[in-house]
Amino acid sequence: MDLGSHSTLHQHLQQTRIPFESQDKASVPDSGPEMAKPQVAVAPVVVSKLSVKAPEFYPSGYNMNFTQNFVDSSYEDGYEGYLTLAEYVQDFLNQLTEQPGCFETEIEQFAETLNGWVTTDEALQELVELIYQQATSVPNFSYMGARLCNYLSHHLTISPQSGNFRQLLLQRCRTEFENRDEAAKGDEDTRKQFHAFVLFLAELYLNLEIKGTKGQVTRAEILQEGLRELLNALFSNPVDNNLICAVKLLKLTGSVLEDAWKEKGKNDMNEVIQRIENVVLDANCSRDVKRMLLKLVELRSSNWGRVLGTSSHTEATPENDPNYFMNEPTFYTSDGIPFTAADPDYQEKYQELLEREDFCPDNEENGTDLPGADYLYFDDIDDEMDPEIEEAYEKFCLESEHERKE
């Protein structure tokens, strides 16, 4: 290298002004036989200009005062940050649907929160509608919905001029009730929604308690009358899923309805059973639905399966109670010989009966997923009953019911 080149390189190094520390940290090859160990450059520490004391950032147009006031009040009243009443109520309803067991532990806090939130007619109407929709659209929620309605009817403090919670709930049910005839004749989806309403009304009748002025607890009279009219609508349009809904309704409330009618000296249940017998003889429903109806007639003949004890101190047994087997059903062997649980060889005969009889499986007792006209539920059941035997069986059931009435 000549002197001119060396001078140029020196000027270049002076212009770049490499700091002394950087030159030490840089990896420079040694001219000796061994290379120097490379050294890693350390990045300079970046000092943040942010401060923990800086004000919170809000986007333009954001109402900070509204949010702050809502958050403060929500935590004080137990809303836990929910933005709307609908969001809070729907979340609770979904929780009840998934975990019904939390009703006892959560319902008190839920009612307390509603008393702080539901302070207007509009809010109360919205609450009623949310619960009604959940109870008539979510399978198996009708029972829990009725329990919830009963609790709120006694614990919500708001009572505006338009009506309290129970009154608004019954008004909402009346709206659906007035369309019963059209709904029973409607298409598949309309009937399915109608059946869900029927079962919810049945649960309300059983669970909604009305306290009198003297502290006595009664059931809603208007619901009792409503269920009678709903049965008429279902039997007036005897398609399979209408009849299945009627069977579910009577299994659920039949004993309570009959007791209430008897107290008034009415024979409404006899009229209902007569309607069922007419459907079995005349309607074009499936054979399996007819069997369900006949089993319901048998259930009613046995006092809805209720067995009354003869003594409060002594347990009834075949030895001390002559009426012990009164409510036991009568079965028939393959030879047509009747037998009951009182027969000595009952177990052997009954086992033989189980092996040869074709039972019709029941649908979900409290569900709302009812089969439609094109549903193949009953087509999957083995059909082994001889037509003559079926006719004799139906005749026997009807004659037994007539003898019981006489």
How many folded domains does the chain comprise? 2
Residues 198 and 240 placed together within one structural domain of the fold: yes
The answer to the question of residue 250 being in a domain is: yes
236 and 336 both lie in a single domain: no
Q: Which of 27-31, 197-201, 221-225, 398-402 has the lowest mean pLDDT?
A: 27-31
- Report yes or no: 241 and 186 within 8 Å, Cβ to Cβ: no
Determine, yes or no, domain membership for 231.
Answer: yes
Threshold 0.85, pTM exceeds: no
- Looking at the fold, whether 231 and 336 belong to one and the same domain comes out as no
Same domain for 334 and 220, yes or no, is no
Q: Which domain holds residue 336?
A: 324-355
Higher pLDDT, 349 or 301: 301
Burial of 345 (0-12, 13-18, 19+ CB in 10 A): exposed
The DSSP line for 236-285 is HS--HHHHHHHHHHHHHHHHHHHHHHHHTT--HHHHHHHHHHHHHHH---
What CATH number is attached to the domain comprising 276? Answer: 1.25.40.180
Q: How high does pLDDT run on average in the chain?
A: 75
Instruction: Kindly state whether residues 265 and 343 are assigned to the same domain.
Output: no
Confidence of residue 272 (pLDDT cuts 50, 70, 90): very high
Instruction: Please indicate, yes or no, whether residues 279 and 139 belong to a single structural domain of this protein.
Output: yes
In a domain, 148, yes or no: yes
- The 10s digit of each residue's pLDDT in 317-353 is 555 554 444 455 666 666 666 666 666 666 666 667 6
pLDDT in tens, 89-104: 999 999 999 999 999 9
Is residue 328 included in any domain, yes or no?
A: yes
Residues 260 and 185 in one domain: yes
In a domain, residue 177? The reply is yes
Q: Are residues 258 and 350 in the same domain?
A: no
Q: Are residues 184 and 298 in the same domain?
A: yes
- Whether 140 is covered by a domain: the verdict is yes
